[in-house]
Amino acid sequence: MIQLKLFKTPVRIQLVFFGNVIGLWAIATAYNIWRHPERTLITGILTGLCAMLLVMFADFGHAVAHIFSARRAKAPMKEIFISAGMPRTLYPDDPVSPEAHRMRALGGPVFSAICLLLSGIIYMASPAGMVLRELAGWSVIGHGFIFLGILFPWPAVDGGSIYKWTLVIGGRSEQEADTIIRKANWIVGGLAVLLGIIFLILKSWFIAVAALGIGGTSFFYAAK
């Protein structure tokens, strides 16, 4: 276990996390070598390293942004915990207002949206075949994938928290908000599974698997 502080906020990192780093580096390198056989092995490895760092920046920059939104909400974060999955932002058990809950949940999505926009601009402005364009594409994937979290009403991601506390601010009780969120997940899950089946029929395997994964996750949270 590695322990440090970032912007005066404790950060705990389990050693298993570095397995993720190496695995992502290997995947990015293998893809680069397969996609560009004309490049040298060293170029492929270095490009894979840069791609991995950009994706990691998207992941951890998102978590770090919550430090600042939590402070702005006057509900500071307790720590960031980094393990095999996505970084977890942990908060004290002290009760805070619905407005504070929503404010501290907004930091990550705002960071991801800004970086996604900048990465997209660089990608579109870079000539085809340039390493810069390729790396910008990895950045778009990293920030875009994380930003999707705001679109789904899952309690474990920012979207679920933002939707819930917006409902409470609008006059719903927490129990009513949770019920609405569960119903929304049933709807999202059903639509995602239907979309996944359609793309299976069309043999668009990647989109089909992604849609079915979203559907399964939505059903999981709907049934909790």
Report helix, strand or coil for 80.
strand
DSSP state of 92: -
Q: Identify the bridge partners of residue 89 per DSSP, sorted by sequence position.
A: 80
6-26 pLDDT, tens digit each: 888 999 998 888 888 899 999
Task: Give the Cα separation of 164 and 138 in Å (integer).
Answer: 31
Task: Give the Cα separation of 153 and 181 in Å (integer).
Answer: 6
Query: Which amino acid, one-letter code, is at 147?
Result: F
Contact of 219 with 186, CB cutoff 8 Å: yes
Q: Vertex 154, ends 152 and 158: CA angle to 5°? A: 80
Per-residue pLDDT of the chain (224 residues; tens, 9 = 90+): 888 888 889 999 988 888 888 999 999 999 888 888 888 888 889 999 999 999 999 999 999 999 999 999 998 999 999 988 778 888 888 789 999 999 999 999 999 999 999 999 999 998 887 888 989 999 999 999 899 878 889 988 898 999 999 999 999 999 999 999 999 999 999 999 999 999 999 888 888 998 999 999 999 999 87
Domain ranges of the chain: 1-150, 153-224
Contact of 143 with 115, CB cutoff 8 Å: yes
DSSP state of 127: P
Tell me what pLDDT residue 44 has: 87
26-54 pLDDT, tens digit each: 999 998 888 888 888 888 899 999 999 99
Q: Which of 107, 67, 78, 72 is nearest to 12 (CA)?
A: 78
How does 44-64 read in b/e, with b if 16+ C-beta sit within 10 Å? Answer: bbebbebbbbbbbebbbbbbb
